[in-house]
């Protein structure tokens, strides 16, 4: 009979987060195992590679859950409300992920020296693809006027990316932060007249 697990995957991920934030990607799996109080064998039984553990620790495995919810909302509810919910969810997920991504980029921006960049792929492209798919579905149903869904999605993602950069990465000193809800509502106030059927 197998022994029950003494430590959860979440506890291992929490230990890995601490070590990676302290030491960057160069942190060893031995250091992570020590912090978690497990053997390296246990670590690799749960997470086959250091990159898998790193992805879980910085939240790459959790990012983008809003995409499926948005795509499943085609033809459901109000289009503007669906877009508001999706973009707010994207901002909330990014708020947790962006600070951790600094650890990924600490190894540089050259994919040949930084294998995590390949795993990261391009989340903004995937975000734009989800919004494009949603808008195309709504255009087909006549709930959004005929438009270039890809360009519209890139506009939304570009605005959100700038907001993330401005409010999280490089917030201006002495300025009151802009509330994410206010930003999303204002963005859709501008875009909605061009989307409404």
Q: What is the per-residue pLDDT across 66-93, written as a single tens digit (0 to 9) for each?
A: 999 999 999 999 999 999 999 999 988 8
- Percentage of residues in the chain having pLDDT higher than 70: 83
Q: Which two tokens stand for residue 175?
A: 């300025």
Q: What is the mean pLDDT of residues 97-110?
A: 60
Nearest Cα residue to 115 out of 127, 107, 124, 123:
107
pLDDT band at 154 (very low <50, low <70, confident <90, very high): very high
Q: What is the per-residue pLDDT across 156-192, written as a single tens digit (0 to 9) for each?
A: 999 998 998 888 767 778 888 889 999 999 999 999 9
- Number of helices (H), then strands (E), in the chain: 10, 0
pTM for this predicted structure: 0.71
CA 195/CA 193 separation, integer angstroms: 6
Q: What is the mean pLDDT of residues 133-140?
A: 97
pLDDT at 166: 83
Nearest Cα residue to 32 out of 18, 48, 47, 51:
18
Q: What is the per-residue pLDDT across 3-56, written as a single tens digit (0 to 9) for each?
A: 555 888 889 988 988 888 787 777 889 999 999 999 999 888 998 888 888 878
Q: Decide if 144 contacts 79 (C-beta within 8 A).
A: yes
Q: Decide if 119 contacts 55 (C-beta within 8 A).
A: yes
pLDDT at 1: 47
pLDDT at 146: 96
């Amino acid at each position: 009979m197998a022994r029950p697990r003494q430590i959860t995957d979440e506890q291992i991920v929490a230990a890995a987060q601490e070590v990676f934030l302290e030491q960057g990607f160069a942190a060893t799996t031995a250091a992570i195992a020590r912090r978690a109080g497990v053997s390296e064998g246990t670590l690799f039984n749960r997470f086959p590679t250091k990159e898998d553990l790193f992805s879980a620790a910085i939240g790459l495995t959790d990012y983008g859950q809003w995409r499926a919810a948005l795509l499943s909302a085609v033809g459901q509810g109000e289009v503007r409300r669906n877009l508001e919910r999706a973009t707010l969810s994207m901002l909330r997920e990014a708020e947790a992920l962006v600070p951790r991504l600094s650890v990924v980029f600490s190894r540089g921006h050259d994919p040949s020296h930084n294998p995590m960049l390949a795993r990261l792929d391009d989340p903004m492209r995937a975000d734009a693809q989800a919004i494009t798919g949603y808008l195309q579905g709504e255009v087909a149903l006549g709930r959004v006027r005929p438009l270039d869904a890809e360009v519209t999605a890139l506009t939304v993602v570009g605005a959100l990316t700038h907001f993330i950069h401005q409010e999280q990465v490089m917030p201006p000193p002495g300025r009151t932060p802009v509330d994410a809800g206010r930003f999303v509502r204002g963005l859709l106030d501008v875009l909605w007249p061009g989307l409404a059927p």
